[in-house]
Amino acid sequence: MNADSSLLPPHSVEAEQGVLGCILLDPGPSLLHCREVLPDPLGFYDSRHQRLYGAFMAMEDAGTPIDLVTVNTWLQGRGILEEVGGVSYVAGLPDASPSPANLPTYAEIVTEKWLRRKKLSAITEAQFIVADESRDIQESLDAADSAVITACGITGQSSVEPMPVLMARAIDLIEKSFEHRNQGLMAGISTKLGYLDKLTTGLCKGEFWILGGRPSMGKTSLLCSLILNIAVEQNIPFGFLSLEMSRDAIAMRLLSALSGANLMHLRTGHLSRVDLERIHAAWTRLSKAPIYIDDAQSVTPAQIRSKARRLISGYGVQVVGLDHLHQIYVPEARGDERIQASEGGMVLNWVAKTFQVPVLGLAQLNRTFESESAKSRGRRPRMTDLRGSGNLEQLADFIGILWRNRGEEREGEPEDEEGEAIPVDLEVVKQRNGPTGECRLTFLRKTLKYVDRYENTGSQVGLNHRHEKRDMEEAEIELEREL
């Protein structure tokens, strides 16, 4: 490559000629494929090829057959035949491709070069935006990030897949599910909360979950518990955008929940020797865990997209959590909760669908839920209880709301003697791909951790379950010794 050509934007004239040649050789299927991966003539670098490809698309739309004669006639009738190189250049294009079967390879090269040009153009645009001192710095950074992210969103890949491919994947999943039907196979990432996994089959790719609750109900604690269950127990990278709490505060919560040490004791230093040993063991595990926390405040939707992209592409994050979506800064909302919630929900749904990762967004409830639940102790949560619901109800694939079923407590599920283990239900009020219902959890007040009901020190029923399990394990060990 000579010095002059090295300064040109990324392109491949040969690949572009190959694509156009394949279209002339076999117009029907070739254009069908090309219009999916190259929807814009600007995907071609050479202006001659842009005009030719545009002509092919226009002819197909008009129902005009495409061959050398009709193409030349079309171009000549519009006075652009010489601009594309003349009859001889068009006639030589089929020779640039030995076979239409090579079209996918040529098209992939052309789209890859196009994507590189778009990225370079976006970076240049971002430089001018940031350098413009007449604009507010935060506005400039948002606009620059948005320009780059928009360019990176052009993948050049078809959004349509043939049915045989889709059916093959579906049958494969069904067969695996059938083979492992009694082994707890998850379609997605396990939350390690039995009730929730059974109801949802895990956190699936591209799903947007909303976890709601009143203030101080433990929404952040639930998210931290899921971080431990996913990143520590399963070594799956988790990205946490904390718009409300600092990284240090989140780290202390994770240490407390994993070690079992009282969070207040961690803060005050009143720790026993056993606590210190447990904390050291938890610190070792957390230091190795793929957890990435961003605690930037007053974050806009554009910044959410940028931060999520960096977490996913830079750190390999497979699950994204945000606390909470009502804290996303939306200037145009002007205090309108519905607009703010809608914009927040749209950006989290965009992250989930664009990057194909599960996204968990925490959300507040309306104040009316508190007053109505106070009047009727058995009043169950609904989707409309989400603050600024509206679009959130349509955007979310899953909506779960934390609440305490006071009516259930009266029926015989008391807290433990010290009131440190609190029965809490996660009411699943919407699930796009599954049933609704309740997931029974217990909130451990000392460590701010959520666990499955009956699998903790919270209730007498749980204590009995643990004793039965321990007795069975001891009996099995004794039987092995005798054998």
Higher pLDDT, 406 or 317: 317
Catalytic residues: 244
293-316 per-position pLDDT tens digit: 888 877 788 778 878 888 887 788
Q: Do β-strands 437-444 and 449-452 pair in parallel, antiparallel, or remain unpaired? A: antiparallel
At which of 93, 128, 152 does a domain end?
A: 152
Distances (CA, A) of 68 to 13, 75, 88, 184, 470: 20, 11, 10, 60, 82
Does 292 share its domain with 239?
A: yes
The two tokens of residue 478 are: 């004794």
462 in any annotated domain: no
Does 136 share its domain with 184?
A: no
83-112 per-position pLDDT tens digit: 888 999 999 998 888 788 888 889 889 988
Question: What is the residue type of 19?
Answer: V
Does pLDDT of 321 surpass 90? yes
Does 228 share its domain with 322?
A: yes
Does 134 share its domain with 260?
A: no
Q: What is the CATH number of the domain that holds 143?
A: 1.10.860.10
Does 148 share its domain with 213?
A: no
| Residue ranges making up the domain that contains 392 | 191-452
250-261 per-position pLDDT tens digit: 888 888 888 888
403 in any annotated domain: yes
Q: Which of 146-160, 423-437, 445-459 has the lowest mean pLDDT?
A: 146-160
Question: What is the residue type of 113?
Answer: K
474 in any annotated domain: no
Instruction: Round to whole Å and give the CA distance between 366 and 244.
Output: 19
In the three-class reduction of DSSP (H, G, I as helix; E, B as strand; rest coil), residue 437 is classed as strand
Does 97 share its domain with 178?
A: no
137-160 per-position pLDDT tens digit: 766 766 666 666 666 554 444 455
Does 327 share its domain with 413?
A: yes
Instruction: Round to whole Å and give the CA distance between 56 and 20.
Output: 9
Does 203 share its domain with 167?
A: no
Does 196 share its domain with 173?
A: no
Query: Vertex 295, ends 314 and 355: CA angle to 5°?
Result: 35
How many other CB atoms are there within 10 angstroms of residue 10's CB atom? 14
Distances (CA, A) of 75 to 56, 70, 79, 385: 10, 9, 6, 61
Q: Which of the 8 DSSP states describes residue 181?
A: T
483 in any annotated domain: no
Rg (CA), the chain: 29
107 in any annotated domain: yes
257 in any annotated domain: yes
251 in any annotated domain: yes
Number of domains the chain is built from? 3
At which of 152, 177, 200 does a domain end?
A: 152
Q: How confident is the model at residue 52 (pLDDT cuts 50, 70, 90)?
A: very high
Is the backbone of residue 405 left (phi > 0), alpha (psi -120 to 50) or beta?
beta
Does 202 share its domain with 72?
A: no
Do the Cβ atoms of 408 and 459 come closer than 8 Å?
no
Does 62 share its domain with 205?
A: no
Q: What is the CATH number of the domain that holds 217?
A: 3.40.50.300
53 in any annotated domain: yes
Measured in residues, the chain has a length of 483
Do the Cβ atoms of 45 and 9 come closer than 8 Å?
yes
Average pLDDT, the chain: 79
Does 80 share its domain with 168?
A: no
